[in-house]
Amino acid sequence: MRLRAAALCPRQSGNAEMTRILHRSIGGRLPQAAAGQGIFITDNDGRSYIDGSGGAAVSCLGHGHPEVMAAMRAQMDRIAYAHTSFFTTDVAEELAERLVALAPEGLDYVYLVSGGSEAVEAAMKMARQYFVEIGQPQRRHFIARRQSYHGNTLGALAAGGNAWRRAQFQPILPETHHVSPCYAYRDQRDGETPEAYAARLADELEAKILELGADEVIAFIAEPVVGATLGAVGPVADYFTRIRSICDKYGVLLILDEVMCGMGRTGTMFACEQEGISPDLVTIAKGLGGGYQPIGAVLLSDKVYRSFAEGSGLFQHGHTYICHPMAAAAANKVVELISQPEMLANVRMMGERLQAGLDARLGQHAHVGDIRGRGLFRGIEIVADKETKTPFDPALKMHARIKKEAMARGLLCYPMGGTIDGRIGDHVLLAPPYIIRPEEIDQIVERIGGAIDAAVRS
Ligand code: PLP
């Protein structure tokens, strides 16, 4: 029997007659997840799936991890909730200490929220308030990149450059400005070196800052490795060092959104470590709680923190569930486990194995344009014509077909595409848990290969 939950839930499916849950799209029907163990999810019909995308790059430790569950139970026995206007908690303090110890140089303070969009909203407001505090209230513009995703609340949606997600909300979105993403597969010109490409993009950002008024820009926001809208697209060499110096030149803050690519996903705790730069603010979520609790965070630099501490003495923001003790207890254990050197080494090793397996199975495939990514964060871009990189007709929803075929083969992969800015095609994202073993990587390769073959044939 189906649960008649009077809840609003944002994920797809739900036969309207069978459920009261408003899912992301109405109609169709998804299986009910019944149990999870390790890298597997079992549905109510007893079918088992490899969680090859960790949901949406969330389940970094897999399901049913005994140590995380024990930490949550212990916290539940002590106290589940205390409001931040009265109390802090040892678990929240410990989590903040742990994150700061792991973070890139200079990120010394932590603001704990309940998810990725909340983290992005908080980071944007922090950046704005920073300039108010230091006497530059005229700064009002945010610059982000096209084909990016930063969340679904209004501020975060405005920052995102995904035309399809923005379309019907455009009239009510705060104004945000966009420049090109760093997307070598499609945008690096023939004969252009990665360095020259990076320089071209940095010039574009500088031109945008000057167009808006150098002393009117608050921040530039970008994902170090783009997840949901491009499918694990990392920057070319030099890109972020150039971006960092352009921001510094004009006193613009750099916000890096590591909600999807952070927390060990790319093989280092923070993806930006691989770029050799430190942002002023970084947002994290997803892997921070590993799916055990909803949690997100903003890490901020001493410079930003001091502007509040020595200014108004308050960050003018807040939600009822910030610093939630249950979420902090789960995240504290998750971060302790994923930051172990052997865990991150497994992410890198299994990530290489996944890339090599995908290259071998799909590298010559007539409809696979690009296979890319870092660590256990890999994207496959599907095209109608490999030579010209022409996407499939969006009406075919090739990404959704692949997801369906993958599920039929017992694999979960995260699909996206078709209608983004009308110019890129379909991709699927693979982001399995960090505890995955070599033979399980090989199964993912085999199943996704079969799913792509079947989807493009159908
Ligand atoms: N930022 C990035 C880069 C994301 O990928 C996402 C979600 O996919 C978000 C922000 C929003 O996070 P949430 O869905 O937890 O609100």
pLDDT truncated to tens, each residue of the chain (458 aa)?
A: 333 333 444 444 444 456 788 877 666 778 999 999 999 999 999 999 999 999 999 999 999 999 999 999 999 999 999 999 999 999 999 999 999 999 999 999 999 999 999 999 999 999 999 999 999 999 999 999 998 999 999 999 999 998 888 989 999 999 999 999 999 999 999 999 999 999 999 999 999 999 999 999 999 999 999 999 889 999 999 999 999 999 999 999 999 999 999 999 999 999 999 999 999 999 999 999 999 999 999 999 999 999 999 999 999 999 999 999 999 999 999 999 999 999 999 999 999 999 999 999 999 999 999 999 999 999 999 999 999 999 999 889 999 999 999 999 999 999 998 554 555 689 999 999 999 999 999 999 999 999 999 999 98
Is 371 a member of any domain? yes
- Structural domains counted in the chain: 2
CA–CA dist 25, 12 (Å, integer): 5
Find the CATH number of the domain harbouring 361. 3.90.1150.10
Candidate from 229, 260, 281 with most ligand 1 atoms within 8 A of CB, to mutate: 260
Is 5 a member of any domain? no
Is 40 a member of any domain? yes
Does residue 376 have its Cβ closer than 6 Å to ligand 1? Answer: no
Does residue 117 have its Cβ closer than 6 Å to ligand 1? Answer: yes
Residue ending a domain, among 312, 338, 364, is: 338
CA of 156 to the centre of ligand 1 (A): 9
Does residue 381 have its Cβ closer than 6 Å to ligand 1? Answer: no
ipTM over 0.95: yes
What are the Cα distances from residue 372, in Å, to 47, 231, 352, 363, 384? 30, 8, 11, 11, 18
Pairing mode, strands 377-382 and 368-374:
antiparallel
pLDDT score recorded for residue 18: 64
Tell whether 97 and 59 lie within a shared domain.
no
Tell whether 312 and 384 lie within a shared domain.
no
Phi/psi of residue 447, nearest 5 degrees: -70, -40
Does residue 121 have its Cβ closer than 6 Å to ligand 1? Answer: no
Q: Exposure pattern of 250-271 as b/e (b: 16+ CB <10 Å)?
A: bebbbbbbbbbbbbbbbbbbbb
Candidate from 145, 259, 414 with most ligand 1 atoms within 8 A of CB, to mutate: 259
pTM of the model: 0.95
Residue type, 257: D
Tell whether 393 and 273 lie within a shared domain.
no
Q: Which of 321, 279, 314 is nearest to 108 (CA)?
A: 279
Q: Which two tokens stand for residue 238?
A: 């030099």
Find the CATH number of the domain harbouring 141. 3.40.640.10
Residue type, 103: A
Tell whether 43 and 104 lie within a shared domain.
no
Does residue 224 have its Cβ closer than 6 Å to ligand 1? Answer: no
pLDDT score recorded for residue 4: 38
Tell whether 222 and 135 lie within a shared domain.
yes
Q: Which residue has the tokens 């539940």?
A: 76
Is 2 a member of any domain? no
* Full residue range of the structural domain in which residue 200 is found: 68-338
Tell whether 419 and 390 lie within a shared domain.
yes
Tell whether 358 and 311 lie within a shared domain.
no
Residue 41 buriedness (CB in 10 A; 0-12 / 13-18 / 19+): buried
pLDDT score recorded for residue 12: 43
Tell whether 59 and 104 lie within a shared domain.
no
Is 24 a member of any domain? no
Print the SS3 string covering the chain.
Answer: CCCCCCCECCCCCCCCCCCCCECCCCCCCCCCEEEEEECEEEECCCCEEECCCHHHHCCCCCECCHHHHHHHHHHHHHCCCCCCCCCCCHHHHHHHHHHHHHCCCCEEEEEEECCHHHHHHHHHHHHHHHHHHCCCCCCCEEEEECCCCCCCCHHHHHHCCCHHHHHHHHHHCCCCEEECCCCHHHHCCCCCCHHHHHHHHHHHHHHHHHHHCCCCEEEEEECCCECCCCCCECCCCCHHHHHHHHHHHHCCEEEEECCCCCCCCCCCCCHHHHHCCCCCEEEECHHHCCCCCCCEEEEEEHHHHHHHHCCCCCCCCCCCCCCCHHHHHHHHHHHHHHCCHHHHHHHHHHHHHHHHHHHHHHCCCCCEEEEEEECCEEEEEECCECCCCECCCHHHCHHHHHHHHHHHCCECCEEEECCHHHCCCEEEEECCCCCCCHHHHHHHHHHHHHHHHHHHHC
Residue ending a domain, among 338, 366, 391, is: 338
CA–CA dist 107, 261 (Å, integer): 17
Residue ending a domain, among 338, 371, 398, is: 338
Tell whether 424 and 326 lie within a shared domain.
no
Of all protein residues, the one whose alpha carbon is nearest to atom 1 of ligand 1 is 150
Tell whether 306 and 396 lie within a shared domain.
no
CA of 290 to the centre of ligand 1 (A): 14
Does residue 255 have its Cβ closer than 6 Å to ligand 1? Answer: no
